[in-house]
Each structure stands twice: as structure tokens, then as C-alpha cells.
Structure 1
Amino acid sequence: MRVNDIEKSLTNYLDSYIEDLKKVFNNKASELDGNSRYIINIENPHEFSEVDSTYSINILNSIMRIGEVSTEQVLNLSENRNEKDVLEKVSKELGIYDKNNIDLVHQVKFVFRSRLIMMLIFKMKKYLKQEKYNVFLSHSSIDAREVLGIKLLLLYESGLSTYVDWLDDYHLNYQRATQKIINLFLELISKEDKETIEELERFFEQNNFFRELSNVEITDEILHALEISDNFLYIDSKNSRFSKWMPFELGYAEAILRKRIHKIIINYKRKRKGSLRYSSFLTKYETVEDINKVRFKFIL
């Protein structure tokens, strides 16, 4: 799957998804229409507490305002600080080599907003749980942009519900050059928005996160999600090899649950000829080229 297909999905659907989530968190899920209904179990939605509703909507509003920050302003700020090679390093971290600096900063904005949305979804998962999912997305949490783009593609174009988590070695998430550009976005938003976002990120810092969930609880949650998902989709990226959970998810889905395995190979835009090394043990699984043409299996 080409990275620009993922970028197109985020361009088309990210803001709509945020607005739909605001309806859900504001206990107005009944207002969802079309494929948006598959964000939650609309027939039996969980009622948000007033505190969690306000907290979540504030975060989503902050994420929307990050989207309004001028990429030109961020780029100028970076150049004024004489960080000449930071964007070259960002392009390597994101696997993007065919964009100018403005477009590259725009992709960092996608990374940042996607990461925050994934965090919020995980933190508020008790309200968003469904009795059944069409697709389990097995992924590395470093790939927030890629996995959210695929999730939104499945949701808005195919009407499919997906299970995603944010369980995967959070400390790997901070690619240094990309984080430098993210920090510039944080400088250009209001103090209130910055504090709102930093509060969410603190929840996922290594020590706080593992106080919330033990490995046994995480494992039980993954197993349950696998059991109630009709299909298993493995996102094979340059980061998936670092995941400690993805091989476990794949093995359980295939050996124990006997699920059909699909894989998406993220095709990065390369500066040099040749291809990235992907996991050789995945060669036996069907590769998805066009996600809209996959014949997923649905269990009644």
C-alpha cells in the first residue's frame, strides 16, 4: 500500500473523524450517519461521564487547532533556529523523500494529530468498546499516521469497524527529529491547548502507563479483541519489526483462532533504488494492494 494513499485518507477524513468523535464523546452518537455509525456500537452506546466527556472534547478541540497551525510558520521557526538537517532526518524517520519542506512539515502535523487521537481512543476505550469488530489492525504504535489512515479508509469507504490499540512500547514512539518539529507546533498553540495535550501525553509516559495496566491485563485485552474480530490485518512497516506484540497477535490469530491473515506492506517513497527489508516470515500471507478490493470474511 502506497504511503500517499494513507496521506490521501487522512486529508479526506481526519477532520470529519474528529467531528464524529466529538458527537460520540458528547453523548450524541445518534447524530452519526452513513459509515460514521460504525465508530461505536450505535445500538448500545456507552454513556460518557460529564468529566470524561468534557476532557475528551477539549482534547479533540486542541487537536483541531493544531491542524490550523501554519506549516509555513513552523518551517520558518525551524530555519530561524538553524536546524538545517532536521527535516532531512524527519524524511528518513517517516520514509518520505519526494516532498518539499512545507509538505514534509505537513506530514509531521498528520503524525502528531494521529498520535494524539490514537492515545485518546485508547484512554477512553471503555466507552468505545464494541461487541464485535470487522477487522483487528495489528500494528506498531510508531506508525500512528499509517494505522489511523488505514482505519479511516476502512471506516468511511467500506463501513468497517476496526480494533486498534496503543500498547506497543511507547518509548519507541519518539523519533527525535520528528519530535523536534512536533515541539515547534506546541510552541505555536495556546498555553491551554498545550497543557491539555501534555496532560494526555503524561498518561502514556512509561511509568504512569504501566501502573495503569499490567502485562497480564494487556494480554487478556488483546486476546479478547482478537476473538471478537472477524478479520486480522497485519501492517508490515519499517517499524513493525520492533514490535513485541505483533508476533504474539499474529501467532494467536492464526494458530489458535484459525483466522485468515491479510497483510498490508507499507510502500515507502525511497530516495535510492532498492526496497526495504520486510519480515520474511510473512511471505506466506496474502498481501493487500488495494484495501477496497479485499474480500473480508464476516462471521454472524
Structure 2
Amino acid sequence: MPISQADLRNAANQAGAQTRVAKRADQRTAFLCHSHHDHELALGLQALLRQQGLDLYIDWQDSTMPPEPNAETAKQLRRRIMNSEWFLFLATANSTASRWCPWELGYADGKMPNEKIVIVPTRDSQKTHGNEYLQLYRTIETDSVGGLSIFNPNTKSGYRVSSI
């Protein structure tokens, strides 16, 4: 089931103003592709995935990124995508309308193994976002017991995020 945007907001609020936790040597890394308009949702997803042992890179938390998008931004994003084990696309109305998000997804698609690209479909009070990608990539969704699992395209088979 797609992750509720309300659940992501709650996770962000519960995490509060926590500072970024240092990455453990054995911790998996993921690049988060998202719209900056979804700041709170990104923080909520980061908090939930941190509990599962996944370190989530969010570009606006990186002080080395240029303040305004430019060619250097693209260069750094490419490097960050390639240095991450996973690429996550937070699917919302904002990210699917963004100019940068489809570019990042296309770059990852051309450079990373397909099984390392994962869509995080979300639902709000009106609809589910991310359906256009569900047949191409794996998804991270809420599983039957309320945890987060990765599901293969077009199947109900999956495994817990904590096991990656």
C-alpha cells in the first residue's frame, strides 16, 4: 500500500529537530529524489528509513550544494547518485511535476542497476502518486503489518527494508 503523506508528516514531526546521525560503516545509503516543496515528507521518509538502517541523502541538507541550481548542482547530484547504493524517488504531485526529478530518475536509470531504483508511492486525501512508474521499478510501500517493505514490480512479493 502506498505510504500515506500524513504518516510521513507525523514521522517528520516525531523526529523533530534531530540532527543528522553519523553514518555507520555497515549502513546502506540511498539518494532521495524529491521535490523541495515536499520538505516535510522527505524528512518523514528519512526518519522512517533511518529506523530501518538506511542512510538517506537529501540534497538541501548538504552544505556543499550551490544555493541556486546550476551546472555545478547537476554535477554534484550525478556524483551523489553514483555514490549511493540505492536511488529512491518520492512520488508526489510535486515531484512528478518537477523539472529536476524526472532528470534525476533518468540519470539513475541510465547508470544504476534497475533493482537499485525504487519508487516510494504516496497517497494523499485525493489520489495515489507514482503509478506511472510502478511497472518499471520496485517500490517501498507499507506492508500488511504496518512496516516498510520493498516490492517487486507487478507482484505482491517483497522483503523488509531493514533486510537490505
Q: Structure 2 length normalisation: TM-score?
A: 0.72
Question: Contact (CA 8 Å) 1:14, 1:152: kept in 2 or not?
Answer: no
Question: Contact (CA 8 Å) 2:29, 2:54: kept in 1 or not?
Answer: yes
Of 234, 237, 240, which residue of structure 1 is paired with 2:95? 240
Structure 1 counterpart of 2:104: 249
Q: Does 1:158 align with 2:16?
A: no
Question: Contact (CA 8 Å) 1:133, 1:228: kept in 2 or not?
Answer: no
Counterpart of 1:134 in structure 2: which amino acid? T
User: Structure 1 vs Structure 2: percent identity of aligned residues?
Assistant: 25
Q: Deviations over 1:238-266 (max 9, x none)?
A: 11122121112111212122242211111
Aligned residues: 142
Question: Contact (CA 8 Å) 1:133, 1:163: kept in 2 or not?
Answer: no
Counterpart of 1:147 in structure 2: which amino acid? A
The within-5 A match list for 1:180-191 is none
Structure with the higher fraction of residues in helix conformation: 1
Q: Does 1:40 align with 2:42?
A: no
| Structure 2 residue matching 1:289: 3-state secondary structure | strand
Q: Does 1:288 align with 2:143?
A: no
- Long gaps (5+) in structure 1: 22-35, 44-131, 168-207
Counterpart of 2:132 in structure 1: which amino acid? S
Cα RMSD (Å) of the superposition? 2.9
Q: Please say which structure displays the higher CA radius of gyration.
A: 1
> 1:159 Cα shift?
2.5
Structure with the higher fraction of residues in strand conformation: 2
- Which aligned segments of 4 or more residues in structure 1 are displaced greater than 6 angstroms? none
Structure 2 counterpart of 1:13: 15
Residues 145 and 251 (structure 1), Cα distance of their counterparts in 2 relative to 1, 3 Å cut: same
Residues 14 and 242 (structure 1), Cα distance of their counterparts in 2 relative to 1, 3 Å cut: same
| Structure 1 residue matching 2:54: 3-state secondary structure | coil
The within-5 A match list for 1:220-231 is 220-231=75-86
The within-5 A match list for 1:42-61 is none
Q: Deviations over 1:85-113 (max 9, x none)?
A: xxxxxxxxxxxxxxxxxxxxxxxxxxxxx
| Structure 1 residue matching 2:85: 3-state secondary structure | strand
